[in-house]
Amino acid sequence: MSKAALKTKILIVEDEIPFSLMLEALLHQSGYEPLVANTTEDGLDMALLHRPALVLLDVMAPVMGGWALCQRIREFSDVPVVFLTAVGDTDSIVKGLKLGADDYLVKPVNPAELLARIGARLRHLEQAKSAPPDTFGDGELVIDRAAHQVWVQGQEVEMRPREFEMLLYLADHADEVVPAADLAKAVWGWADDTAVDGIKTYIHHLRRKIEADPASPRWLQTVRGVGYRFRSG
């Protein structure tokens, strides 16, 4: 475990004390610095104070609930948020992802899988910080990996973390046709019907943000029956 990993703070927002203690021990043994909050109010305060590298969040955490806390966090941070909860129905998974969560795991979760998901999110974050901005169409569209910012015609466009991640993945595969299932797996880590439907929703939102005419997109094109293509020119 690197020195950087030893200092990486991960916030756990979980009201089930035995489970939060298990998570705390698991993260500590894996070289992270776990921070534990048993209510969403405490979780919000700790997120503001400590600026963790990642948040593990239970949908059912009191008092405001996990959904509301995720929204509050997104008002001031693009920190990766991973829902870790017993609420595993399809509607809840879709809701969590639409609210800006970066991943959604259903209890009980395999500790090795949880650590792998955490590691993948943190690696992606580090890679984004070290990469230079990408420019497309004579600078009409600029994607700044390090700052997690997108500029269209010189104007900054507000992006949710998941929207940014999806746009960046497509841009990294510019002019290639990316199947919807491949895009879902790259961004969310799995590719079922729920994830593919979520991709359609995010593509719709992205087009509204970066396209001059979302009905006739220049950058984000649909290849019917296959997937999506980002046009670089």
Q: For the chain, give me the number of helices (H) and strands (E)?
A: 9, 12
Name residue, tokens 């776990």. Answer: 34
- Predicted local confidence at residue 128, as pLDDT: 67
Q: Span 53-82, mean pLDDT?
A: 92
pLDDT tens digit string along 117-143?
Answer: 999 889 877 876 666 778 898 889 999
Give CA separation, 124 vs 79, 80, 119, in Å: 12, 10, 9
pLDDT digits (tens, 9 = 90+) for 173-228: 999 999 998 998 888 777 777 778 888 889 999 999 999 999 999 999 999 988 99
What pLDDT, in 10s, does the model give residues 78-132?
899 999 999 988 889 889 888 888 899 999 999 999 999 999 889 877 876 666 7
pLDDT of residue 213: 95
pTM: 0.62
**What tens digit of pLDDT does each residue of 4-41 get?**
444 799 999 999 999 999 999 999 999 999 999 999 99
Mean pLDDT of 35-53: 95
Domains observed in the chain: 3-128 (3.40.50.2300), 131-230 (1.10.10.10)
Instruction: Give pLDDT, residue 221.
Output: 95
Percent of the chain surpassing pLDDT 90: 62
Please report the pLDDT score of residue 3 as a whole number. Answer: 43
> For residues 227, 207, 150 and 188, what is the CA-based torsion angle, rounded to 10 degrees?
-40
- Are 13 and 62 spatial neighbours (Cβ–Cβ below 8 Å)? no
Q: List the structure tokens of 161.
A: 């973390």
Sheet holding 134-136, edge to edge: 134-136, 141-144, 149-152, 155-157
Sheet-wide strand order for 33-37: 33-37, 9-13, 54-57, 81-85, 103-106
